[in-house]
Structure 1
Amino acid sequence: MSEQHPAQQPPPPPPYGHAPQAHGQMQPLGAGPVGEVRGTGVAILLYFVTFGIYGIYYWFKVHEEMKRHTGQGIGGVVALVLALFVGIVMPYLTSSEVGTMQERAGRKRTVSAVTGLWYLPGIFILVGPFIWFVKTNGALNEYWESVGARR
């Protein structure tokens, strides 16, 4: 007599906040270390005092923290190379990654690649890049604080 097996059902969907990884393994989104909260005014001041060098450091650190936290994104090294050679893409990429991170965590997306338009062509109204940075860094800080970072 053959043993009857119940019909194979597909596995249940992953728990909220998890994403499939290579080879079918599951890794919680946001399971990595929490990033640093950076004061927007201090970051702007450091950018000017260091003649823009802090901006390159900022791209590297922010993208490295997001990649370590979520396991996804371009990471610090790629961000550094892009910042050095095609820096104009960075406002769009950074805002997009921050917004994606918010959305994956079940939060409202407050910034996206479209936010990068504040940077360019926003630079022609002079305050555009400042508006972009306040919006993007603010959204990133809010996210980090929501997952346990301290100011």
Structure 2
Amino acid sequence: MSTIDEPTSRPQSAGGYAPAQYTQPQPYGQPPYAQPQYGQPQPYAQPFGQQLPAGYAPAPVAPFGRQLGPIGKVRSTWAVIGLSIITFGIYGLYYYFATHEEMKQHSGEGVGGALGLVLAIFTFGLVTPFVLPNEVGNLYARQQRPRPVSATTGLWVLLGWMILIGPLVWLIKTNGALNAYWRSMGAV
């Protein structure tokens, strides 16, 4: 009889309960009692202690932050403000459309230009200050970088609209973060 076939006795605690020992499955060819020693290379760890079958390798991990689509355009914050004033807000609607569409084409995610424009028109601009910085923050998050802006950045517009400082701070923060992202992708 081998050592594997021999019955084993478990040590019992004071109450008579013997906790079960958890053993991980070992790679093919190693006995179950042979544990890898500290400093030795470990086999690929799979969820729940499963091992890969012979001849298989783990799937390669997709690099985070890979570029999926074209890089967007860098827009001057002061030009956006000036053109929005000169055109009585029409350029602001174009800005929402263009930025949402560029982010959607670049990442493959988001509301896109048409829906971004519809949100801006039919909600009278109440939703867009929250959606746009959230999507800009998502661009950063997909690359596992800290979010410089998020949906809460829209509170600048909501709480500071009467003195015009809030919307100005919102635009500087949101457009600045979007421009910094496009520059980090290689835009000029």
Distance 1:35 1:63 in 2: 10
CA distance in 2, matches of 1:6, 1:71: 35
SS in 1 for 2:161: helix
Distance between the aligned counterparts of 1:96 and 1:43, measured in 2? 19
- Over the aligned positions, Cα root-mean-square deviation in angstroms equals 2.1
Deviation per CA, 1:68-122: give whole Å up to 9, x if none: 0000000001001111101210010000000110111232210000000001122
Determine which of 164, 168, 174 is the counterpart of 1:136: 174
Is 1:101 the counterpart of 2:139? The answer is yes
Give the whole-Å Cα distance in 1 for the aligned partners of 2:110 and 2:61. Answer: 21
1:16 corresponds to: 63
Moved over 4 A (4+): 7-11
Instruction: Sort the Cα spacing of 1:49 and 1:13 in 2 relative to 1 into closer, same or farther, 3 A.
Output: same
User: What's the counterpart of residue 100 of structure 2?
Assistant: 63
Matches within 5 A, 1:1-151: 6=53, 11-12=58-59, 14-17=61-64, 28=66, 30-86=67-123, 87-150=125-188
Aligned partners of 1:52, 1:10: CA distance in 2, in Å? 56
Unaligned regions of 5+ residues in structure 2, if any?
Answer: 1-51
Letter of the aligned partner of 2:62 in structure 1?
P
Partners of 1:61 and 1:148 in 2: CA distance: 19
Report the TM-score, using the length of structure 1 for normalisation.
0.83
Percent same amino acid at aligned positions?
52
How many residues are treated as equivalent by the alignment?
137
Residue 31 of structure 1: how far off its partner (Å): 1.9
Gaps of 5+ in 1: 19-27
Which has the higher relative contact order, 1 or 2, with Cα contacts under 8 A spaced 6 or more apart?
1
- Measured in 2, the distance between the counterparts of 1:45 and 1:108 equals 30
Matched position secondary structure for 1:14: coil
Structure 1 Cα separation of the partners of residues 144 and 163 of structure 2: 34
How far apart, in 2, do the equivalents of 1:56 and 1:10 lie?
Answer: 50
Q: Against the structure 1 CA distance between its residues 51 and 32, is the aligned structure 2 distance closer, same or farther, given a 3 Å change threshold?
A: same
